[in-house]
Amino acid sequence: MLNYTCFIDIAKRGVTVSQYEFSLRQEVLLEVGSSILGDLFRYSEEKGIEDDADPVSILYNLVWNVKQDIILSKTESELEQIEGQFHLARDFLSGMENAQGKGLAS
């Protein structure tokens, strides 16, 4: 996963970021979103998930929509919300993979 903590530190210190820095953070989040989508796709392929009502399919669609919101975002706060949603998606997938490894998920 890409490391973008420097952007978080800038936002937390109250430093105003330039348009370039904001655009750069958007680009990094787009890459993070793409990575999550790829992981979700691979997981669903491995498990033969085809049902649109499956939690993995729902999460894939949610991440896809959030990824679209990155370009529409205008504030650091919006990007922080998107980042949080990506963290939740990554945690969900990790939990599914760990449960599968322990024989807890189908």
CA distances from 30 to 49, 50, 77, 83 (A): 25, 25, 16, 10
Q: Determine, yes or no, domain membership for 106.
A: no
Domain hosting 34: range is 17-97
Q: What mean pLDDT do residues 69-78 have?
A: 95
Distance, CA of 73 to chain centre: 15
- Cα 54 → chain centroid: 18
Whether the CA torsion 76, 12, 20, 65 is positive or negative: it is negative
| Cβ pair 1, 34 in contact under 8 A | no
What is the rounded distance in angstroms from the CA atom of residue 37 to the CA atom of residue 29?
12
Q: Is the pLDDT of residue 83 over 70?
A: yes
Domain assignment present for 93: yes
Kindly state whether residue 21 falls inside one of the protein's structural domains.
yes
Residue 93's SS3 state is: helix
Among 13-22, 59-68, 89-98, top mean pLDDT goes to: 59-68
11 belongs to a structural domain:
no
Taking a C-beta distance cutoff of 8 angstroms, is the pair 76, 11 a contact?
yes
Can you state the percent helix, strand and coil of the chain, rounding each to 5? 75, 0, 25
Count CB neighbours of 53 within 10 A.
Answer: 6
* Structural domain total, the chain: 1
The answer to the question of residue 3 being in a domain is no
Residue 9 located in a structural domain: no
Question: Per the domain annotation, does 50 fall within a domain?
Answer: yes
Instruction: Name the pTM for this structure.
Output: 0.78
Examine the pLDDT at 36 and tell me if it is beyond 50: yes
Domain at 89, CATH number? 1.10.8.130
